[in-house]
Structure 1
């Protein structure tokens, strides 16, 4: 399954209600890109974790190296964010989730069966912690009432500064947050989330899992079909480094050897289903089936999860945590603030505390080969000599909130030039560490480039005043903030964070889709939404307030308004969308185009074409390639622009996109032909494209052309005879339906409507029996157009018209059969033909059958008496007869 390492898995996307509607469940790759932008060192860290995990999995083959079979107990703390009594879930509901986890991970779940021999007891258990971060007794549950319902997928719930709850020490506790609701926005559509998890390797400040309250546990306020607690089991699988069983790709790799390869995720409970040449395992907790269907982890998944808990693993400290034990008596050396202490192991009955933040130590152990010789940022321009660690906190500079600054680090090598890695941190919240999100402001992979330089912007939410900046250089690797390493140097400075110029710039709202949507009474209106960005606050899409109603049961013009404000109170200019609901009509359309030829290449917009109503998503203008790989065109058929259907999630499966033409006046015409270019390249099950005509202003439609499936990576020509609609006002619509795959981008370009007839055979060569033909090739034969299929030729209708029909298939064209020698004196009558494996029958002059079979090279006539015979061949259900004489 996919080999890219994903930090945080946003899983179980669904559209409410859970039972009544379809749902999408995962946006992992999008979140990975978001995390990479926040933390440039993430990918390298997770690659190291994966390499360690793979090595530990290999070592499991050696019984001397197997992870100990002892039970690992994971301390859990549950943070409940709620608005009302229903969302403030009970202790019983929380305990029911712990019970489900212990049953599922120990394979004591009541629904466990023997369908899969590799099902495993992971020997991992969970308990509500009994000791808090300060060593005091606890229930393992924290609660906070809030007015906020939607917590999105941006980790706000994990930050007290955003109204959430800060995690307890993530190296000692598995933090779980329970919230009222979570959503995300994809291609203008709001999608609900069940929960998501963070893989090993992410920031400590956001480590853990988040769930919505009615998918947590199996009693209380839970909603089917996610009322069995298995969503949390699935998320903790990710937390312990498991991938989805289908690997987030078609027949992919989940890094586990004993799970069957899946084509894609499963829903419901399709037991016995096969894909990718094996039987699917929908009972696995890492699939997307209903809670009632899931019941197992495999031995390979167990090995992978326990590897991160083993010595050297990314979650080893969690496996060693004692936060489910008895409360320890306070001491002045236990590393926590407890008892009468006013700080960590200081104050009260212990030694007095040192005032101000206390930062961890970090240094190199040798500067004999390389050291930092100069640091420049703001007004700091400090040249220095070789030191393992240098305290330059007496040197400072002002940094302005919301303003970009550049830092430059110059190394000096005493001899040979070596590859050096760099990192810089600023303690923006002045809490004495560099581990909070965004506090690593610069990093650079090891190289011999000098100097190393990069830019960063001080967040507007950073604490004002003086704080610590740490600059670190390490041989052959990127350093961490508290690391002691073999070669290199660490330097600390002071920066003074000051307020910037007042934010007076308005956010910008961008409407998704057309400004005007035309519907007919009875149609369904699908909200396309909008996006919003701000120069300081970034993406504000989730904060957009949408107002205005649409009643598609009543004709009229309706307005939807989109508004948003940034943190400084600047309100964006309102953006609106008009929805015109027209009465259902039996008469033709009005305002028709009557000048021909008409053409549209979408070079400067959609022209007079509009997005249709009652569909699921919109057509999109594009130039160049589409975003998905191995589907869609790489350029326009003519000009630089074309229109296409983007079929990636959430636009599949069987989702429709409709594009409607302007009205055309054919009342004074005798003939009419529509031609266009289309591109259908992707997976075999990529969907279908239809052209339909309406003569009653869109009340009903008649299909006049359709195609489906992969047509190859090239633009195809379509020509449709509309002469039967001459004398009417007509509208056309392109109606695309996605298949069961994201590789289904369909495109259209170069539309032309003329008032003449068209011959679909124009420019097509006649059939040549000596030429080889491939699937999709077209020829003319006996006055008709034929197209080559996998095993036969399709008759597309008589030449002289534009309309493409399906008038049946024939296996062969241009039959050529001859027999020799004739007369035949020997044992074999040879047959020469352009058709292989011809069935034949030999009859005598009395009409009696004397021989029968299939021709390979010839016909054995040894047993025939002297005389004249006829040999008959069945071709395309037609008998071809040849005479021969046996001497």
Structure 2
């Protein structure tokens, strides 16, 4: 009873807080924590500040030449429920808002009071483009401000990519950022999902956003911090400094929508610039940077400024953004098919990747990897992963443009072949509807067996648009990682492709719970898209059985079952089990796993179904341990019952830093040559995948 009353009281407190919520940014709190925990951070901050002052004294000497600075962005959407799994459209509205605010094309720019119009920044020449949207289902309710979400889902190429985590921070915190000069393992900005996006965009009324912080200005504010801007009151009193000369002294943050002439420091000249993006007012009442703030942001891209990697080694050169994709050829008549029998046809090799795809007909040259022959005709395209094309090297293959403006339906089919080691890498199909911005349409990882598999994807969401597609093959940590595609087709009536498409099969999910149904949930994913989901089941009786029918169109899927405690549903606390069946075939089954188990399966045109791999996460066998952690020169891995395992150390940029084998008699990993920082240690033995975060000093 006491527990229920406590929860009720907390809920009432949260509700009351929501009605009177003020903007809360945790950047300064995070900044102080980093200064105390990282002795080098203060030194780097001092160096960056000295460079910034030199820049401000002579900005034209240091200012980057060229019309624009492009900032590619990877957005990590980490969600505990379907509501938090915000749509691609909501994500795009946020990027559009950043480009408006940093480009001074926002519709409220001219609301700037006359006393500040002479010091407005104008166009900062900073532009933001989506490089990738990554989605992660996680049962954790809130993430706090201690960078837990960054450690769990590490940043991608932080030296030249702006990483944004969209995850519920909790505690009323809208967002927080890391200033330049901090650890790359935690670089980027974090925002709660209800404050990430612009409700004024087309379709914005359907976004998951919370007024009065629903116009995307939280991200504008936090990206300002990421580019070395402080709060305009200097996080102190009237004697504190925000290091910008043209923002008047302020003694405290402003909230809501203050009236013109507000002055929190009457003894100092000038009213508060409360409409500045670096104050705490509501989204509708902030609409400018100052010229001095623009100079500070520009200084971060100079050599030594903390963001120089975006210009010294840019990850990609976008095509300009907006409108339809740039195309040398556009397909308008369907069905369209390409099996690469006469060359690449209208397809082209990527220009900014590590190596090219290969056209082949006689089987890949490496043993125990790749297809032996094509699935349609004689030729296919594949990624040759032998040295020097691994680890973590990327090969891109781009399609022509496909004009779907006059189509009433569109279905894409192709065949893929991933055969090699379990850590062979990842194959993704990405789509672009505006040049330079790509999102994942489908992806799959690891060994899928020595067979061709068909994929069928519905393109109806893109009717009326011109699209471009890109296959991205990313090698793993082994030469046994050849991946291939063949028999690509787009049809307007559901026909076409070597295996056909358009059918629907009824699958049946049966789950017998253990003694803790509140720990169990599941998803069916097509690529990164959640097709169906359920749980957790706190209201279900212990040991009860759930039966649910799910209609699935032809294609390939992942069924994932999760246990939040990490002990599966059998057999420590009850004898739970699960099965997913269709057409007389078992697509997924089990019960004994760790934190999750993933079963990959396909359903074809004749309603036949087949399972082709099972992967487990969080299965820790008896006796497994990793120490010391932190480590200086050597990591010791105690394997318990595991006798022959492969390991991979991946740094926070997603790059494989070291691979090898370990056993009970050879259990040491030499890490003395690795750069200090956080790493993910993955130990793989048969179907078991063990994951540990380790710190190397």
TM-score by length of 1: 0.36
Considering fraction of residues, name the structure with more helix.
2
Q: Which protein has the larger Cα radius of gyration, Structure 1 or Structure 2?
A: 1
Work out which structure has the larger RCO, using CA pairs closer than 8 Å and 6 or more positions apart in sequence: 2
